[in-house]
Each structure stands twice: as C-alpha cells, then as structure tokens.
A and B are shown apart, each in its own frame.
Chain A
Amino acid sequence: MDAITDNLDLFVSGYWTSLKICLIALVGSLVLGTIIAACRVSPVAPLRWIGATWVNMIRNAPLTVLLFFFAFGLPEIGVLGSYWVFGVSALIIYTSAFVCEALRAGINSVSSGQAEAARAIGLPFGATLREVILPQAFRTSIPPLGSVLIAMFKNSAVLGAFGVGGDLFSVSDTLTSARGYAATPVLLGVAVGYLLITLPAGALLALLERKTAILR
C-alpha cells in the first residue's frame, strides 16, 4: 500500500482535477442539452430535425471517436487548443445528447390533458409551461438525468486515458508506467477514488427518485 500512502498528494490532486472536469462538463452539457431538447420539442420542423440529427449522431458514436475527432481532426482545419479543452468539449457534446433525451422523455411523459386543462382555464403559453408542464416534466427527468450525470463522471476517466493530464486516471498511468509502482495497489486506489463519487451519487439518486416520484 506504499504506492498510495507515498503519493497521497498526487491522488488528491488527481481527484480534484477529475471533479473540476466534471463540474465544467456538468454545466456545459446541461446548458447545451437543454437547448437541444428545446429544439426537439419546438413547433418549428427544421429545429426538430436539427435536434434529432444531433442526438442520433452523437449518441451512436463512441465518446472515443469524438475525442479523436476533436484532438486530431480539428487542428487540421486550423482549430488549435490543448488536449484539456478538446477533451472537455468532447465530453460536453457527448453528454448533451443524453441530457437532451432525458429532458425530452420528461416532457413527453406529461399527459396532454394537463396542457389542455391549463389552456382551458385560460393560462397563456408561458404560464402553461412554467406552472403546469415543466414542474412535472422536471420531476420525471430527475432519475434518468441523474444516471446520465453519473455516467458522465465515469466517462471523464476516458479523458484521462486519452492523455488529458492530471486527472484521477492519469495518476494511475503516471505511477505504474513512469515511476514503476506495482499496478494492483495503484489501481485499487484509483478505483476507490471513482467509487467515492459514484456510490454516494447513486444512493442520493435513489433517494431523490423516491422523494420526487409522482403517482399517475
């Protein structure tokens, strides 16, 4: 276990880098995903097509292909940046497709009678959306949205394997390849790091799911 105790500072800094990547990707993918979800449910047909194309293309391509495309394709057309920027952008774009689908499923789960009733009592469009539909849609979206975000944290490990330096995964690579520590204890340390996030997040999600469940 020397590998872990000797390099605790490295593990901790790797942990923070992973969290930082995820925090940025969280905000970015929620914003982008919401915009695309809005496109997918809009009454304007071309917007719906754009949203559908985006989701179907990105959801069915591996994150790794997106990463490669960003890091090695974009420089070819003169878009330069660090691995860090490319990696986080790819993660945001990949996750946005899943965020969009979670939100859209939530909106579609609200029965049309709700909107009809809201219009029947004279609520204008904005109020129908704000007071009746979105609150219900959001509650239904919480469990799938939570799974998406937990999956995103796990996907951030791919960035580390890809060479975005400093995160929890790349710590294991540094220690085992460059510094010659035995792989088993190092990887156990890294695994614990990921589980420290994913297990409580999963438990929290299950709790939220029970609290926000609606009887239909």
Chain B
Amino acid sequence: MSGGLVLYDVPGPRARRRQVILAIVVGLAAAGLIALVLHRLNAQGQFEAKLWDPLVNPSDKNFAAVWGLIGDGFVNTMKAAALAIAFSLSLGTVIGVARLMLGRWTRIPLVGFIELFRGLPVVISIFFASRVLPDLGVDLSGWPGGEGLWFVVIGLTAYNSVILAEILRSGVNALPKGQSEAAVAIGLSRLQTMGIILLPQAVRIMLPALISQLVVILKDTSLAAVLGVYPEMLNAAKYIYLNLDNPIQALFVVGTIFVVINFALSKLAGWVERRLSRSKRSPGQDTDDEVRYITDTAELAQ
C-alpha cells in the first residue's frame, strides 16, 4: 500500500492542481540543487579526465591495474561474506535450536552468550579477533586465505550467528502450535519434531529476514578497511586514491558497486516475502504479519 492512501483523501480538482504546482516547484528546486552540486564539482576540477580516466577509460595506462585492484577487492569481499554467511548459518542454527530445546535454567548461559555478542558492535568483534586471538596464542596465519580473512570471518560470525539464531527462533515461535502438537501425536521425538517439522517451515517463512541479513554481512565486510586488517573492496579504493589522488571518483565507483548488489539483494528479499505471503501453503495470516514485522525489524537493526 502506498503511504499516500492512508493519509490523504482522493484529491479533487483543486487539490490535484495544487499537487501539480508543488511537484513542478519541487522538481525545479531539486534540479537546481543537482546543478549546483555538479557546478561545484566542476569548478573544483572533479570532472577532469585525469581523475576519471583510470576508472572509466580502457585506454588509460592505469585502467587495467585499477580494475585489477577493484576486482581482487571484490573477490575478497565476496570470499569473506560467503564464509561468514556459511559459518553464521550453521552456527546460528545450532544456537537457535539449542535455545529452543534447552530447559528454562539450562539455557541461561546460552542466552547470556547470545546477548553478549548481540550487544557488541561488529567492529569490536573483528578488532577483538585481530588483537585478542594472537594475544591468546591462537595463530591463524597458516590458514588458507591468510589471517586477515579469518579475523573478519570470525568477527562477522560471532555477531551474525546469534542474530540468525534469533531470527530462526522467532520463526519457530511464529508457527502455529498445532504443528508441534501434531508431530508429538504421531510419535516423533523432540529432536525429530524440530528437525523435520518446525525448522524447515521456520527457514521458509524466515527467508526474507535471512536474505536481508546477507546485506548486513556484505556491508560489514568493509569494516576491515577501517581496521586495516584485510584487503577487501573499500581497501582497494583507498589504495587507488592514495596513489592517483582521486578519492571522490574511486569511492563513487566502489560505493556504487555496494549499492547495486545490496539493492538487488533487498529487492530479492521483498520479492520472496511477497511470494511467500501469497502462497496457499503459508501457515496463516497471523504468521505472515509476524514474519513481516520480524523482517522489518531485522532489516532496520543494521
């Protein structure tokens, strides 16, 4: 539903005329503002060929090197994100199931663990991994991909596995009670109930929230550039503009790559959500609302 429908009546002729006038005024003001920014950029020489050519002109002598760097950075970003997602999903499933199946008292340490990593900024988790692990004598330098990769993966996994566990748990809790009652009635054990009845349904209805979490993970890989522990894509941009002195252009290109990928992922999450809420097999309207709410909240807590 578009926001306009709730707030406003269907406009009459006078309101429509007013809206058209306002639209033109706003459009002109926005165009003016954009022109002003472009003029400013131009006046400061930001459109000069020597700043853009290494990024957009294949015949420039630095073009191949620059895109080689960005390409390597992109691959490294994807590598860190993919590993973090794989570990977070498996660890998150274990934590989520454990929290659901443990008794009231035995789950206290687990809840403490979840709250601890959920409340800690991701940048701290990665910094922790890069400083505390060597401090404790854990040597990751021999691992494939180098220790920097694993610092990022461990830091991201520490945070995202507990988030995914919580998403999965809300998914299981949102299922109708009849599902687990029926499973018990046909003689399944608790573990079987969880594994073959509840979890598959929870994963299905939580899919949008899980995809949204991928966006978060992808964005958070760039924290490595701030800490300087791993050569991912933003680090590549930094290296490029330190050498060619074109920060606006290099950051614009890398920023655009991030935005395009994440925008596509967000759209995919929205599409999956609409498909699921339309499908007849989905477990009822209440669950749909609950899911939409959980998805929205997970998306916003970035």
A binds B: yes
Contact residues of A with B, CB < 8 Å? 40-48, 50, 56-57, 59-65, 67-69, 72-73, 76-78, 98, 101-102, 104-105, 107-108, 110-112, 114-115, 119, 125, 128-129, 133, 143-144, 147-148, 150-151, 154-158, 161-162, 169, 172, 176, 182-184, 187, 190-191, 194-195, 198-199, 202
Please judge, given known A-B contacts A41-B3, A73-B251, whether A191 and B19 are in contact too, CB under 8 Å. no
Q: B223 to A187, Cβ gap below 8 A?
A: no
List the A residue with the shortest CB-CB distance to B227: A161
List the A residue with the shortest CB-CB distance to B125: A191
Chain B residues near A67: list those with CB within 8 A: 226
Apart from A50-B30, A108-B6, A169-B124: 9 A-B pairs, beta carbons within 8 A: A46-B27, A56-B259, A69-B247, A133-B7, A143-B297, A148-B301, A169-B121, A184-B135, A198-B119
Chain B residues near A108: list those with CB within 8 A: 1, 3, 6
Q: A57 to B259, Cβ gap below 8 A?
A: yes
Q: A98 to B8, Cβ gap below 8 A?
A: no
How many residue pairs link A and B with beta carbons under 8 A? The number is 191
Nearest 8 Cβ contacts at the A-B interface: A41-B3, A198-B119, A60-B262, A183-B131, A157-B121, A154-B121, A147-B301, A62-B219
List the A residue with the shortest CB-CB distance to B131: A183
Please judge, given known A-B contacts A62-B220, A73-B248, A73-B251, whether A44 and B46 are in contact too, CB under 8 Å. no
Contact code string B123-138 (vs A, CB < 8 Å = 1, else 0): 1100110011011100
A187 vs B134: C-alpha distance when bound (angstroms) = 13
Please judge, given known A-B contacts A112-B6, A169-B124, A176-B131, whether A195 and B116 are in contact too, CB under 8 Å. yes
B120 within 8 A of A: yes
B55 within 8 A of A: no
Q: B135 to A77, Cβ gap below 8 A?
A: no
Chain A residues near B11: list those with CB within 8 A: 43
A154 vs B222: C-alpha distance when bound (angstroms) = 16
List the B residue with the shortest CB-CB distance to A111: B6
Chain A residues near B132: list those with CB within 8 A: 183-184, 187
- Chain B's nearest CB lies how many Å from the CB of A96? 12
- Chain B's nearest CB lies how many Å from the CB of A202? 7
Q: B226 to A161, Cβ gap below 8 A?
A: yes
Q: B258 to A183, Cβ gap below 8 A?
A: no
By secondary structure, the B interface counts as helix
Q: A47 to B241, Cβ gap below 8 A?
A: no
Q: B46 to A194, Cβ gap below 8 A?
A: no
- How many interface residues does B have (CB within 8 Å)? 64
List the A residue with the shortest CB-CB distance to B22: A44
List the B residue with the shortest CB-CB distance to A153: B121
Q: B255 to A190, Cβ gap below 8 A?
A: no
Q: B121 to A64, Cβ gap below 8 A?
A: no
Chain B residues near A176: list those with CB within 8 A: 131
Contact of B248 among A77, A151, A156 (CB under 8 A): A77
A43 vs B115: C-alpha distance when bound (angstroms) = 42
Q: Which of B1-21 contact A (CB under 8 A)?
A: 1, 3-9, 11, 15, 19
Q: B7 to A65, Cβ gap below 8 A?
A: no
A114 vs B121: C-alpha distance when bound (angstroms) = 40
Chain A residues near B124: list those with CB within 8 A: 157, 169, 187, 190-191, 194
Q: A69 to B251, Cβ gap below 8 A?
A: yes
- Chain A's nearest CB lies how many Å from the CB of B295? 10
Contact of B296 among A50, A144, A194 (CB under 8 A): A144
Q: A76 to B1, Cβ gap below 8 A?
A: no
Q: B131 to A68, Cβ gap below 8 A?
A: no
List the B residue with the shortest CB-CB distance to A162: B226
List the B residue with the shortest CB-CB distance to A104: B3
B153 within 8 A of A: no
A–B Cβ pairs within 8 angstroms, 10 of them:
A42-B4, A44-B19, A60-B263, A60-B266, A61-B219, A62-B258, A112-B1, A154-B122, A187-B127, A187-B131
Q: B258 to A68, Cβ gap below 8 A?
A: no
A67 vs B119: C-alpha distance when bound (angstroms) = 22
Q: B3 to A110, Cβ gap below 8 A?
A: no
A148 vs B300: C-alpha distance when bound (angstroms) = 6
